[in-house]
Amino acid sequence: MRIDSVTDATFTAEVLESDKPVLVDFTAAWCPPCRAMNPILDEIAADRDDLRIVKLDVDDNQSVAAQYSVLSMPTFMLFQNGQPIQTLVGSRPRKRLELELEQALVQEPAGR
């Protein structure tokens, strides 16, 4: 799967109304750790059909970033059934990110 960009205008439809979990990468063009995470996110997106990954540029989309109190980049927020179930701040190795995502997805109660 490829990584799409979302905006303040498309966030509800693309993230909150998604039928599968969505990892939102709150990012900024000027952020070196954000750029360092791009290949890792690309690999995860290519390997997983059960998780959608999207990017939201916080400089161009300040409303959603403010709504979820995103202050540092990169911030990764995992949404399931329209709700944020996990927030991770800062870059990390692929294996650690995947483990953290798996733990959050397993803990989320079914049918919510």
Q: Give the CATH number of domain 4-103.
A: 3.40.30.10
Q: What is the tens place of the pLDDT at every residue in 8-50?
A: 999 999 999 999 999 999 999 999 999 999 999 999 999 999 9
In this structure, are residues 64 and 56 in contact, taking their beta carbons and an 8 Å threshold? Answer: yes
> How far is it, in rounded angstroms, from Cα 86 to Cα 36?
21
pLDDT at 112 over 50: no
**Domain residue spans of the chain:** 4-103
Q: Could you tell me which of 77, 67, 74, 65 has the C-alpha nearest to residue 104?
A: 77
The set of catalytic residues is 31, 34
Cα Rg of the chain, angstroms: 13
What pLDDT does 1 receive? 73
pLDDT digits (tens, 9 = 90+) for 60-82: 999 999 999 999 999 999 999 99
Are 25 and 73 within 8 A, CB to CB?
no
